[in-house]
Amino acid sequence: MDNRTAKKHLDTIIKKARVHLYKPIQIAEILCRDRTVGDIDLDDLETYRTLSRKWRDKVCMKFLGRTSTSSSRFQDNLFDENATPPPVLRTLGEINHRHHGAVEAYIYEAFKQRHSQMSNGLALVNQSDKTKFVLKDFIAFFSRAPGLSRSVDKIFEIVVYALFSTLLETLDVKIGVIIGNIEDTIFREFPDFTEKVLGLDEHTLEAYHTAKVYRAGVTNAADSGLDIWANFGVAIQIKHLSLTPTIVEGIASDITADRIIIVCKECEKDILVSVLQQFGSAGRIQSVITENELETWYEKALRGQSAELIGDKVMQRLENEIKVEFPSTTEFDKFFTDRGYHELAVTDIWHS
């Protein structure tokens, strides 16, 4: 395989990767292991298929503080024929040896550039006060940026969480747990269950707690699953896509909750009516919230009658969640320098 073809395969993986670049980093660590330790054979996938996840996770923990949570099957897609199979890795390895780790540096330089873009996006929150922040422009920034568009779903999720959690907290919403049948034999026979699982006993038959929403965790957007869950029985699925019946059907089949809220980019009226008729009041889809509605709610939260009460809280929560999701590059810069990548030229390695 020639150098340019191998580079094309690598660039495709980098381009498709979301901000954390787990798959490109895995390639870099395979090449690093081959160059510095030499105990793997790039032509033999089984010598590094599984082990390379550990090598990747070790460096990711240094500067991301997290590791990939995608399924093994999704992670193994990295070695498919249309990605970076052994012949591609063999050519990349030869270039990497010849230029003393420059292919590794090329990959990590892409990571650095991607996170530099993320810093620019975060600056839109840092440098804005509640009277200047415009949600539509903020989301548009991530949608337009070539390196960030693959992560716009996570930004959309954070936007939803920041607003919802702030409103629930400020409204002081409470949820209750009540035992309605204290005369039942089961109640008398399972007092340890009601105490340990429900926090109730014969003296305390009801309890009230603060209503909260929780982000389900950092997962790859290629994996199906829950985005935000609430302790008051609602599952919230975030899709920065226009709603279609197919998407709704997929959500309804992936999530087992009895009540589902869908937050999406757009939703035409006829689709909304169809969705709610099919899954709505008698089904599992409780409601559909569009990006336009979120923009209206943000406008009220930041510049409406309640802005002084909740505006700063929304902005602070938005900033905090982005920082947690996308850590700063401070630790990465140290890693980049310690590896000596800053001393390598990566522009001319593909022609030799």
Domain ranges of the chain: 3-120+329-343, 133-325
List, for residues 56-106, the tens digit of each pLDDT value.
999 999 888 888 888 888 899 999 999 999 999 999 999 999 999 999 999
Residues facing 261 on adjacent strands: 236, 287
**How far apart are the C-alpha atoms of 106 and 112, rounded to whole Å?**
10
pTM of the model: 0.75
268-327 pLDDT per residue, tens? 767 777 777 776 655 688 888 999 999 999 999 999 999 999 999 999 999 888 877 776
The CATH architecture that domain 133-325 belongs to is: 3-Layer(aba) Sandwich (3.40)
Q: Which of 245, 246, 214 shows the shortest CA–CA distance to 232?
A: 214
Exposed, middle or buried: residue 199 (CB in 10 Å: 0-12, 13-18, 19+)?
Answer: exposed
The sign of the dihedral angle between the CA atoms of 313, 315, 319, 325 is: positive
CA atoms within 13 A on the CB side of 176: 6
